[in-house]
Structure 1
Amino acid sequence: MEENREDIRLLKKIAKGSRSAFDRFYENYRAFVFQIAMHMTGSRMEAEDVSHDVFLEVYQKAGQYKASKGSVASWLAIRTKSRALDRLRKRKPLLRDHLEELLSGQEIGADKQFLSQLEKDIIIEALKHIPQEQREAIFRSYFQEETHKEIASSMNRPLGSVKSLIRYGLNNLRKQKAILGIIGSNGGEKDGIS
Protein backbone atom coordinates (compact mmCIF):
# COMPACT_ATOMS: atom_id res chain seq x y z
CA MET A 1 0.00 0.00 0.00
CA GLU A 2 2.88 2.36 0.83
CA GLU A 3 4.40 1.62 -2.59
CA ASN A 4 1.16 2.65 -4.27
CA ARG A 5 1.13 5.95 -2.33
CA GLU A 6 4.68 6.69 -3.44
CA ASP A 7 3.78 5.81 -7.03
CA ILE A 8 0.74 8.10 -6.86
CA ARG A 9 2.99 10.92 -5.63
CA LEU A 10 5.36 10.27 -8.52
CA LEU A 11 2.50 10.32 -11.02
CA LYS A 12 1.30 13.66 -9.65
CA LYS A 13 4.80 15.08 -10.06
CA ILE A 14 5.05 13.63 -13.57
CA ALA A 15 1.74 15.30 -14.45
CA LYS A 16 3.36 18.60 -13.42
CA GLY A 17 6.33 17.90 -15.70
CA SER A 18 8.89 16.42 -13.31
CA ARG A 19 11.51 14.52 -15.28
CA SER A 20 13.18 13.14 -12.14
CA ALA A 21 9.84 11.72 -10.95
CA PHE A 22 9.38 10.10 -14.36
CA ASP A 23 12.89 8.61 -14.24
CA ARG A 24 12.22 7.12 -10.83
CA PHE A 25 8.79 5.81 -11.89
CA TYR A 26 10.37 4.30 -15.01
CA GLU A 27 13.02 2.51 -12.97
CA ASN A 28 10.34 1.14 -10.63
CA TYR A 29 8.18 -0.27 -13.43
CA ARG A 30 10.27 -0.87 -16.55
CA ALA A 31 10.75 -4.60 -15.88
CA PHE A 32 7.08 -5.03 -14.95
CA VAL A 33 5.83 -3.37 -18.16
CA PHE A 34 8.39 -5.17 -20.33
CA GLN A 35 7.44 -8.56 -18.88
CA ILE A 36 3.74 -8.05 -19.71
CA ALA A 37 4.57 -6.74 -23.19
CA MET A 38 6.90 -9.66 -23.85
CA HIS A 39 4.27 -12.17 -22.73
CA MET A 40 1.65 -10.56 -24.96
CA THR A 41 3.74 -10.07 -28.11
CA GLY A 42 6.25 -12.91 -27.87
CA SER A 43 8.89 -10.65 -29.39
CA ARG A 44 11.62 -8.72 -27.61
CA MET A 45 11.60 -5.95 -30.21
CA GLU A 46 7.80 -5.62 -30.09
CA ALA A 47 7.90 -5.67 -26.27
CA GLU A 48 10.46 -2.86 -26.25
CA ASP A 49 8.28 -0.81 -28.60
CA VAL A 50 5.19 -1.45 -26.47
CA SER A 51 7.10 -0.49 -23.31
CA HIS A 52 8.27 2.73 -24.97
CA ASP A 53 4.67 3.55 -25.97
CA VAL A 54 3.39 2.86 -22.46
CA PHE A 55 5.96 5.07 -20.74
CA LEU A 56 5.46 7.83 -23.27
CA GLU A 57 1.77 7.66 -22.48
CA VAL A 58 2.52 7.74 -18.75
CA TYR A 59 4.66 10.84 -19.25
CA GLN A 60 1.98 12.57 -21.30
CA LYS A 61 -1.10 11.39 -19.38
CA ALA A 62 0.00 10.77 -15.79
CA GLY A 63 -2.87 12.96 -14.59
CA GLN A 64 -5.40 10.44 -15.91
CA TYR A 65 -4.59 7.90 -13.20
CA LYS A 66 -7.46 7.52 -10.69
CA ALA A 67 -6.62 5.77 -7.41
CA SER A 68 -10.30 4.86 -6.96
CA LYS A 69 -10.11 2.58 -10.02
CA GLY A 70 -7.20 0.44 -8.83
CA SER A 71 -3.51 0.31 -8.09
CA VAL A 72 -0.83 1.95 -10.18
CA ALA A 73 0.42 -1.51 -11.19
CA SER A 74 -3.07 -2.45 -12.44
CA TRP A 75 -3.33 0.83 -14.35
CA LEU A 76 0.02 0.15 -16.01
CA ALA A 77 -0.86 -3.47 -16.75
CA ILE A 78 -4.07 -2.44 -18.50
CA ARG A 79 -2.26 0.22 -20.55
CA THR A 80 0.46 -2.27 -21.47
CA LYS A 81 -2.00 -4.96 -22.51
CA SER A 82 -3.98 -2.45 -24.53
CA ARG A 83 -0.89 -1.14 -26.36
CA ALA A 84 0.29 -4.73 -26.99
CA LEU A 85 -3.08 -5.67 -28.44
CA ASP A 86 -3.05 -2.55 -30.61
CA ARG A 87 0.36 -3.56 -31.96
CA LEU A 88 -0.73 -7.17 -32.55
CA ARG A 89 -3.86 -6.00 -34.38
CA LYS A 90 -1.72 -3.86 -36.67
CA ARG A 91 0.65 -6.75 -37.28
CA LYS A 92 -2.19 -9.15 -38.14
CA PRO A 93 -5.91 -9.33 -37.56
CA LEU A 94 -5.48 -11.13 -34.23
CA LEU A 95 -9.04 -11.64 -33.10
CA ARG A 96 -10.33 -12.60 -36.53
CA ASP A 97 -7.59 -15.17 -36.95
CA HIS A 98 -8.24 -16.75 -33.57
CA LEU A 99 -11.99 -16.81 -34.02
CA GLU A 100 -11.52 -18.30 -37.49
CA GLU A 101 -9.34 -21.05 -35.99
CA LEU A 102 -12.00 -21.78 -33.42
CA LEU A 103 -14.80 -21.71 -35.98
CA SER A 104 -12.93 -23.99 -38.36
CA GLY A 105 -12.71 -26.68 -35.69
CA GLN A 106 -9.10 -26.18 -34.66
CA GLU A 107 -10.15 -25.76 -31.07
CA ILE A 108 -7.33 -27.55 -29.29
CA GLY A 109 -4.81 -24.97 -28.17
CA ALA A 110 -6.43 -22.08 -30.02
CA ASP A 111 -8.86 -21.40 -27.18
CA LYS A 112 -6.04 -21.25 -24.64
CA GLN A 113 -4.11 -18.81 -26.81
CA PHE A 114 -7.25 -16.76 -27.43
CA LEU A 115 -7.99 -16.40 -23.72
CA SER A 116 -4.38 -15.69 -22.82
CA GLN A 117 -4.42 -12.77 -25.26
CA LEU A 118 -7.62 -11.20 -24.00
CA GLU A 119 -8.71 -10.67 -20.44
CA LYS A 120 -11.50 -12.94 -19.21
CA ASP A 121 -13.55 -9.99 -18.01
CA ILE A 122 -13.53 -8.52 -21.51
CA ILE A 123 -14.85 -11.79 -22.90
CA ILE A 124 -17.47 -12.02 -20.15
CA GLU A 125 -18.69 -8.51 -21.01
CA ALA A 126 -18.92 -9.43 -24.69
CA LEU A 127 -20.75 -12.65 -23.84
CA LYS A 128 -23.62 -10.61 -22.39
CA HIS A 129 -24.56 -9.69 -25.95
CA ILE A 130 -25.19 -13.20 -27.28
CA PRO A 131 -28.06 -15.65 -26.61
CA GLN A 132 -28.05 -17.32 -23.19
CA GLU A 133 -27.51 -20.91 -24.40
CA GLN A 134 -24.56 -19.86 -26.57
CA ARG A 135 -23.12 -17.90 -23.66
CA GLU A 136 -23.48 -20.87 -21.31
CA ALA A 137 -21.84 -23.29 -23.76
CA ILE A 138 -18.91 -20.93 -24.41
CA PHE A 139 -18.49 -20.19 -20.70
CA ARG A 140 -18.46 -23.88 -19.80
CA SER A 141 -16.01 -24.70 -22.59
CA TYR A 142 -13.51 -21.86 -22.20
CA PHE A 143 -13.76 -20.82 -18.57
CA GLN A 144 -14.72 -24.04 -16.81
CA GLU A 145 -12.74 -26.13 -19.32
CA GLU A 146 -15.49 -28.72 -19.68
CA THR A 147 -15.37 -31.07 -22.64
CA HIS A 148 -18.12 -30.88 -25.24
CA LYS A 149 -19.50 -34.17 -23.90
CA GLU A 150 -19.62 -32.78 -20.35
CA ILE A 151 -21.38 -29.66 -21.58
CA ALA A 152 -23.90 -31.74 -23.55
CA SER A 153 -24.63 -33.78 -20.43
CA SER A 154 -24.98 -30.81 -18.07
CA MET A 155 -27.10 -28.80 -20.55
CA ASN A 156 -29.12 -31.89 -21.51
CA ARG A 157 -28.42 -31.26 -25.21
CA PRO A 158 -27.05 -33.47 -28.01
CA LEU A 159 -23.30 -33.21 -28.60
CA GLY A 160 -23.80 -31.74 -32.08
CA SER A 161 -26.05 -29.02 -30.64
CA VAL A 162 -23.41 -28.03 -28.11
CA LYS A 163 -20.77 -27.75 -30.81
CA SER A 164 -23.18 -25.62 -32.85
CA LEU A 165 -23.95 -23.40 -29.86
CA ILE A 166 -20.25 -22.76 -29.34
CA ARG A 167 -19.59 -22.19 -33.05
CA TYR A 168 -22.56 -19.82 -33.48
CA GLY A 169 -21.75 -18.06 -30.23
CA LEU A 170 -18.18 -17.35 -31.34
CA ASN A 171 -19.50 -16.24 -34.71
CA ASN A 172 -21.94 -13.86 -32.97
CA LEU A 173 -19.09 -12.38 -30.94
CA ARG A 174 -17.20 -11.71 -34.14
CA LYS A 175 -20.20 -10.22 -35.94
CA GLN A 176 -20.92 -7.80 -33.13
CA LYS A 177 -17.33 -6.64 -32.97
CA ALA A 178 -18.09 -6.37 -29.25
CA ILE A 179 -14.71 -7.53 -28.03
CA LEU A 180 -12.70 -5.01 -30.00
CA GLY A 181 -15.19 -2.29 -29.14
CA ILE A 182 -14.50 -2.87 -25.45
CA ILE A 183 -10.71 -3.08 -25.62
CA GLY A 184 -10.14 -0.55 -28.37
CA SER A 185 -8.53 2.66 -27.24
CA ASN A 186 -9.78 5.07 -29.86
CA GLY A 187 -13.38 3.96 -30.37
CA GLY A 188 -15.11 3.39 -33.66
CA GLU A 189 -14.73 0.47 -36.01
CA LYS A 190 -11.52 -1.53 -35.80
CA ASP A 191 -9.52 -3.14 -38.57
CA GLY A 192 -9.14 -6.86 -38.79
CA ILE A 193 -12.69 -8.06 -38.21
CA SER A 194 -15.11 -8.52 -41.03
Structure 2
Amino acid sequence: MSRSEKRDMLLKVAEQLFYEHGFRGVGLKQIIREANVATMTLYNHFSSKDKLVEEVLRQRENRYWSYLDSHVAIDTDSPFVLAVKAHGRWLKKESYKGDMFLRAIEDYAGTDNEIENIARGHKVKLLNYFQKIAQARGKQNEQDLANQFTLLLEGTTSMTTLVGAEKATEYAIAIAKALVQHTL
Protein backbone atom coordinates (compact mmCIF):
# COMPACT_ATOMS: atom_id res chain seq x y z
CA MET A 1 0.00 0.00 0.00
CA SER A 2 1.39 3.42 -0.94
CA ARG A 3 1.87 6.28 1.50
CA SER A 4 -1.22 8.12 0.21
CA GLU A 5 -3.30 4.92 0.28
CA LYS A 6 -2.36 4.40 3.93
CA ARG A 7 -3.31 7.99 4.74
CA ASP A 8 -6.63 7.55 2.94
CA MET A 9 -7.27 4.30 4.81
CA LEU A 10 -6.53 6.00 8.15
CA LEU A 11 -8.96 8.80 7.33
CA LYS A 12 -11.66 6.43 6.14
CA VAL A 13 -11.41 4.19 9.21
CA ALA A 14 -11.15 7.14 11.59
CA GLU A 15 -14.24 8.81 10.10
CA GLN A 16 -16.26 5.61 10.34
CA LEU A 17 -15.19 4.97 13.94
CA PHE A 18 -15.69 8.58 15.03
CA TYR A 19 -19.12 8.59 13.43
CA GLU A 20 -20.20 5.31 14.98
CA HIS A 21 -18.67 5.78 18.46
CA GLY A 22 -18.00 9.50 18.88
CA PHE A 23 -14.72 11.35 19.00
CA ARG A 24 -14.09 10.61 22.66
CA GLY A 25 -15.07 6.95 22.33
CA VAL A 26 -12.32 6.05 19.87
CA GLY A 27 -8.63 5.85 20.58
CA LEU A 28 -5.71 5.97 18.19
CA LYS A 29 -4.83 2.33 18.91
CA GLN A 30 -8.24 1.23 17.64
CA ILE A 31 -7.86 3.32 14.48
CA ILE A 32 -4.37 1.94 13.85
CA ARG A 33 -5.57 -1.63 14.40
CA GLU A 34 -8.64 -1.34 12.17
CA ALA A 35 -6.76 0.53 9.43
CA ASN A 36 -4.10 -2.17 9.62
CA VAL A 37 -1.20 0.29 9.65
CA ALA A 38 1.81 0.80 11.87
CA THR A 39 1.73 3.34 14.68
CA MET A 40 4.44 5.36 12.96
CA THR A 41 2.32 5.52 9.81
CA LEU A 42 -0.36 7.40 11.73
CA TYR A 43 2.16 9.77 13.30
CA ASN A 44 3.88 10.34 9.95
CA HIS A 45 0.58 11.75 8.68
CA PHE A 46 -0.99 13.24 11.82
CA SER A 47 0.89 14.61 14.80
CA SER A 48 -2.04 14.04 17.17
CA LYS A 49 -5.58 12.74 17.41
CA ASP A 50 -6.84 16.32 17.12
CA LYS A 51 -5.02 16.74 13.79
CA LEU A 52 -6.62 13.51 12.58
CA VAL A 53 -10.08 14.70 13.67
CA GLU A 54 -9.50 18.03 11.90
CA GLU A 55 -8.66 16.32 8.63
CA VAL A 56 -11.59 13.90 8.93
CA LEU A 57 -13.94 16.87 9.34
CA ARG A 58 -12.36 18.79 6.45
CA GLN A 59 -12.68 15.82 4.12
CA ARG A 60 -16.26 15.13 5.20
CA GLU A 61 -17.16 18.76 4.64
CA ASN A 62 -15.57 18.73 1.17
CA ARG A 63 -17.55 15.60 0.29
CA TYR A 64 -20.76 17.18 1.58
CA TRP A 65 -20.35 20.33 -0.50
CA SER A 66 -19.35 18.37 -3.60
CA TYR A 67 -22.41 16.20 -3.11
CA LEU A 68 -24.74 19.15 -2.64
CA ASP A 69 -23.25 21.06 -5.58
CA SER A 70 -23.62 18.06 -7.86
CA HIS A 71 -27.35 17.84 -7.05
CA VAL A 72 -28.36 21.49 -6.90
CA ALA A 73 -28.55 23.82 -9.86
CA ILE A 74 -29.17 27.34 -8.60
CA ASP A 75 -30.62 28.41 -11.94
CA THR A 76 -33.47 25.89 -11.80
CA ASP A 77 -36.98 26.66 -10.62
CA SER A 78 -36.50 25.12 -7.20
CA PRO A 79 -32.88 25.19 -5.95
CA PHE A 80 -34.09 25.36 -2.34
CA VAL A 81 -36.13 22.16 -2.72
CA LEU A 82 -33.28 20.49 -4.62
CA ALA A 83 -30.93 21.32 -1.74
CA VAL A 84 -33.32 19.77 0.77
CA LYS A 85 -33.68 16.62 -1.38
CA ALA A 86 -29.89 16.35 -1.80
CA HIS A 87 -29.35 16.83 1.93
CA GLY A 88 -31.89 14.05 2.57
CA ARG A 89 -30.03 11.68 0.26
CA TRP A 90 -26.78 12.60 2.04
CA LEU A 91 -28.42 11.82 5.38
CA LYS A 92 -29.57 8.41 4.20
CA LYS A 93 -26.13 7.58 2.83
CA GLU A 94 -23.71 9.36 5.18
CA SER A 95 -25.44 10.78 8.28
CA TYR A 96 -28.05 8.28 9.41
CA LYS A 97 -26.95 8.65 13.05
CA GLY A 98 -26.97 12.43 13.23
CA ASP A 99 -24.56 15.20 12.40
CA MET A 100 -20.84 14.64 12.85
CA PHE A 101 -20.21 18.41 12.88
CA LEU A 102 -22.63 18.99 15.75
CA ARG A 103 -21.03 16.11 17.59
CA ALA A 104 -17.64 17.77 17.11
CA ILE A 105 -18.99 21.06 18.45
CA GLU A 106 -20.39 19.26 21.50
CA ASP A 107 -17.23 17.23 22.15
CA TYR A 108 -14.79 20.08 21.63
CA ALA A 109 -16.82 23.11 22.79
CA GLY A 110 -14.82 25.66 24.70
CA THR A 111 -11.48 24.01 24.01
CA ASP A 112 -10.45 26.82 21.64
CA ASN A 113 -9.16 24.52 18.94
CA GLU A 114 -9.39 24.10 15.20
CA ILE A 115 -11.87 21.20 15.46
CA GLU A 116 -14.61 23.40 16.85
CA ASN A 117 -13.74 26.11 14.31
CA ILE A 118 -14.08 23.67 11.40
CA ALA A 119 -17.40 22.34 12.69
CA ARG A 120 -18.86 25.79 13.37
CA GLY A 121 -17.51 26.98 10.02
CA HIS A 122 -19.50 24.25 8.31
CA LYS A 123 -22.71 25.65 9.80
CA VAL A 124 -21.82 29.20 8.72
CA LYS A 125 -21.15 27.94 5.18
CA LEU A 126 -24.61 26.40 5.14
CA LEU A 127 -26.16 29.77 6.01
CA ASN A 128 -24.06 31.47 3.32
CA TYR A 129 -25.03 28.81 0.79
CA PHE A 130 -28.73 29.51 1.20
CA GLN A 131 -28.13 33.24 1.24
CA LYS A 132 -26.40 32.95 -2.16
CA ILE A 133 -29.28 30.91 -3.54
CA ALA A 134 -31.73 33.55 -2.31
CA GLN A 135 -29.65 36.32 -3.88
CA ALA A 136 -29.42 34.45 -7.18
CA ARG A 137 -33.20 34.00 -7.15
CA GLY A 138 -33.72 37.71 -6.48
CA LYS A 139 -35.31 37.19 -3.09
CA GLN A 140 -35.54 40.32 -0.91
CA ASN A 141 -35.54 38.43 2.39
CA GLU A 142 -32.34 36.47 1.71
CA GLN A 143 -31.15 36.39 5.34
CA ASP A 144 -34.51 35.14 6.57
CA LEU A 145 -34.59 32.44 3.89
CA ALA A 146 -31.01 31.41 4.68
CA ASN A 147 -31.87 31.03 8.36
CA GLN A 148 -35.11 29.18 7.63
CA PHE A 149 -33.55 26.68 5.23
CA THR A 150 -30.50 26.14 7.43
CA LEU A 151 -32.84 25.46 10.34
CA LEU A 152 -34.84 23.11 8.12
CA LEU A 153 -31.75 21.09 7.18
CA GLU A 154 -30.51 21.01 10.76
CA GLY A 155 -33.92 19.86 11.96
CA THR A 156 -34.06 17.23 9.24
CA THR A 157 -30.69 15.93 10.36
CA SER A 158 -31.85 15.74 13.98
CA MET A 159 -35.12 14.04 13.09
CA THR A 160 -33.26 11.37 11.10
CA THR A 161 -32.29 9.65 14.34
CA LEU A 162 -35.96 9.53 15.38
CA VAL A 163 -37.92 8.78 12.20
CA GLY A 164 -35.25 7.82 9.67
CA ALA A 165 -33.74 9.76 6.80
CA GLU A 166 -36.51 9.04 4.30
CA LYS A 167 -39.37 10.21 6.52
CA ALA A 168 -37.45 13.23 7.84
CA THR A 169 -36.61 14.21 4.25
CA GLU A 170 -40.21 13.76 3.16
CA TYR A 171 -41.37 16.19 5.87
CA ALA A 172 -38.56 18.62 5.04
CA ILE A 173 -39.41 18.65 1.34
CA ALA A 174 -43.03 19.50 2.16
CA ILE A 175 -41.88 22.37 4.39
CA ALA A 176 -39.37 23.56 1.75
CA LYS A 177 -42.09 23.67 -0.90
CA ALA A 178 -44.36 25.63 1.44
CA LEU A 179 -41.58 28.09 2.28
CA VAL A 180 -40.75 28.64 -1.38
CA GLN A 181 -44.41 29.09 -2.27
CA HIS A 182 -44.90 31.51 0.63
CA THR A 183 -41.94 33.69 -0.42
CA LEU A 184 -43.00 34.14 -4.06
TM, length-normalised to structure 1: 0.29
Which of the pair has more CA radius of gyration?
1
